[in-house]
Amino acid sequence: MSNRIAGLDVHKRMLAVVVSDVEVDGEYQFERRMFGSSPDQLRSLAEWLLAQEVEEAVMESTAQYWKPVWEALERYWKPLRQKREGARRKSGTLHLAQAQSNRGPRGARRTSAMPNVWSSGSWLGN
């Protein structure tokens, strides 16, 4: 059975979103999209996550910018995921991963454990 998860990198005016099915055998396929942070764009994000059949969403943010995203997903996405026929126990689950400061010891940047799926530059076409 499919288990689609979304990863959201939340910035002040932009959200980078990646969706993948974590139960796929072989090579992972990623759906990538960017959204703004306006209320209309956040509704569009929730609708896109529904269309992608995303079960869980994980957000990363270094500041308070995650709050309106969380509120929009709780309002538009989460209830619809939980009420659908055949919903899993974790369907509609939101997770928040607060990033540590980029100012590590002696100015060293800390790197993310997430793979860089944006590096190919071809994500706009997906």
Overall pTM > 0.85:
no
Q: What sign does the CA torsion over 9, 117, 21, 85 have?
A: positive
Q: Which residue would you say has higher pLDDT here, 91 or 8? A: 8
pLDDT digits 0-9 by tens, 29-59: 889 999 999 999 999 999 999 899 888 888 8
User: Any residues with CB less than 8 A from the CB of 3 and at least 6 apart, and which?
Assistant: 21, 22, 23, 55, 56, 88
Q: Which residue would you say has higher pLDDT here, 61 or 103? A: 61
pLDDT digits 0-9 by tens, 65-105: 888 998 888 888 876 665 656 666 666 677 677 655 555 55
Query: So what's the pLDDT on residue 126?
Result: 41
From CA 116, how far away is CA 108, in angstroms rounded? 19
* Least confident span in 5-14, 63-72, 87-96, 116-125: 116-125
Tokens 């509120």 map to which residue? 71
Let me know: does 31 contact 52? Beta carbons within 8 Å: yes
Query: So what's the pLDDT on residue 80?
Result: 64
From CA 93, how far away is CA 86, in angstroms rounded? 15
From CA 30, how far away is CA 32, in angstroms rounded? 6
